[in-house]
A and B are shown apart, each in its own frame.
Chain A
Amino acid sequence: MADRLRIMLVDDDEDDVRLTREALKECAVAPDLDVASDGEEALRRLRADAPGGARPDIVLLDLNLPRLPGREVLRRIRAEPSLRAVPVIVLSTSEAEDDVAGCYELGANCYIPKPVGFGEFRRVVRAIEEFWSTVARLP
């Protein structure tokens, strides 16, 4: 299944992980979802995977994470040559201008406010899946 999009979701909120999973289930080709529940775990797994083929195609990153905050995870991803190219999509409840601008400055590929309601949530997750699996070319 070479066409299956591999997504790493970095989010400690089990409910949001569940909703993401449910929304992804409904995609034509359901992506592979790897969940890291905190920033350290995400970096550890990204680094371990980096040389091989298991590296995710995109990272969905929440900002409000225990231990290592999302923005710091983003900064470290962009600082590491082996990880730098991975597209990172920030998915956060915050709509503060500070967070939005700050994430783009740190090199986020896009910033999406977490939507309310499953209908909206699915629309967003599908849009991400469709864009990154069929529209964009990945490294």
Chain B
Amino acid sequence: MTEAVPGGAEALRWARFGRALILLFAGLTLLLGAGLTVSSGMRMRLLLERSFLERGETIGAGAARAAYVPLSLEDEEALAELASQYEGRSDLASLRVLDDAGRQWAAYASPHPPGARTLDVEIPIAPPRGGAVVGRVEVRMDPARISREVSRQFAASVAINGALALLIAAAGAAIVRKLTGRMRELAAEAARVEELRRSNRELEEFAYIASHDLQAPLRKIAGFAQLLQERYAGRLDSEADDHIGRIVAGAARMQRLIQDLLAYSRVGSRQLRPEKVETGEVLRQVLSDLEPLLRESGAKVTAGPLPALVGDAGQLGQLFQNLVTNGVKFRGDKPPEVAVAARREGAEWLFTVRDNGIGIEPQYADQVFKMFRRLNAPNAYPGTGIGLAVARKIVERHGGRIWVESRPGEGAAFRFTLSASGVPEEAPRG
């Protein structure tokens, strides 16, 4: 595909055809057989674009704008899938990407014999789970063309430019070498990112499978130990009863740990479903679910005005639930009070969940978010120590940060940020 960057005489234009990279620079056509080994061409293209964007590369505003296309269309996946259907097709005459207001973001047009019949196709891009159309792709197909035609024209245009290219090549060689190096670097970087994602996915799968398979033998231990406890209590000596009791309790605890591990890995492995969320409504729902706990503990939960933002409603609900439950659970002598508030800070919303509980010593402020890390004896405050780890994972998956401000005996303020505009892009998960 060729990127004809809108507004871009100043812009570096680059194109990819199969595995060859073509740089269109100052009227010079250079063919770079970059020999990139990528599994998915489309993803590679998007990663490259993003890398340009992230590095603020000196590539011209037009290119940066083109790089922004998939993000601004809010649905990279649908666009990528769509584009990959047409990528490299010899009968493709033109392809334009338009946003919902009809503005052109990117266009591709291949040399086109006069009088050729074309077929116009218009495909709306909508988020995969329904919702408003965020953009359109207009495709013109030429049924008469064959790949021979395309490669012939392509070769001709390279030949025409070839002579000029040779003249300028000497002067441009340094630049080109630099650009080639940069391309290689970006490709390597993209490969590293892909590798990291793959190993993350594997880790999540591992946690999930391990937890499932660990449950089977544990069920046996718990089942038979309880059977033994019930049927033989008082028939062995008291020491034996005590030992059996410890097996039963240990198995029950391990069961809870595994279930928590599962829940934790589920937070990471499930595809985020971003949608517009009224966080005030989410909190109301959570408080209604927690009603028995709140009543029992005499807790009072108050909430200021909370914003609407884009996020995964289910996960945000779990986030609120874990933080509110945490505030109620680590209560001091007074009846628990939890206050939820949010304020806008630049491009983010800063949420605060403040309680009047026992508080945390500042040197442990980071530890509370680690999995199964507990600061108090389990008999004082039961639980496995998963709630805040899950909370952190949810916030981080939404591109935010979470921390706690507290001193012992003075309650704790859990703060987290969520983007006001949406969640960051994620690689598709397998």
Contacts and interface: CB of A to CB of B under 8 A. Distances in A.
Interface of A: 15, 19, 22, 93, 114, 116-119, 121
Contact of A116 (B223, B227, B230): B223
Contacts of A22: 227
B377 to A, nearest CB: 24
Contacts of B222: 116-118
Nearest to A94: B212
14 contacts: A15-B220, A93-B215, A93-B216, A93-B219, A116-B215, A116-B218, A116-B219, A116-B223, A117-B219, A117-B222, A117-B223, A117-B251, A118-B225, A118-B226
B168 to A, nearest CB: 61
B84 interface: no
A116 B259 CA distance: 12
B255 interface: yes
Most buried by A among B223, B224, B248, B255: B223
Given A15-B224, A118-B225, A121-B223, 4 more contacts: A116-B215, A117-B223, A117-B252, A118-B222
Interface of B: 215-216, 218-220, 222-227, 230, 248, 251-252, 255
A19 B224 CA distance: 8
A15 B217 CA distance: 10
Contacts of B218: 116
A117 B225 CA distance: 8
A121 B226 CA distance: 10
B77 to A, nearest CB: 23
Nearest to A121: B223
A33 to B, nearest CB: 17
B198 to A, nearest CB: 24
Contacts of B226: 117-119
A120 B252 CA distance: 12
A114 B220 CA distance: 11
B223 A19 contact: yes
Contacts of B251: 117
A19 B216 CA distance: 14
A118 B224 contact: yes
Nearest to A22: B227
Nearest to B217: A15
Contacts of A93: 215-216, 219
B211 to A, nearest CB: 12
Nearest to B258: A116
Contacts of B215: 93, 116
Given A93-B215, A116-B219, A19 B227 contact: yes
A118 B219 contact: no
A118 B230 contact: yes
Contacts of B248: 117
A93 B251 CA distance: 17
A15 B248 CA distance: 17
Most buried by A among B226, B252, B255: B226
The 3 closest A-B CB pairs, nearest first, are A118-B226, A118-B227, A117-B222
Most buried by A among B215, B227, B248, B252: B227
Contacts of B220: 15
A119 B230 CA distance: 9
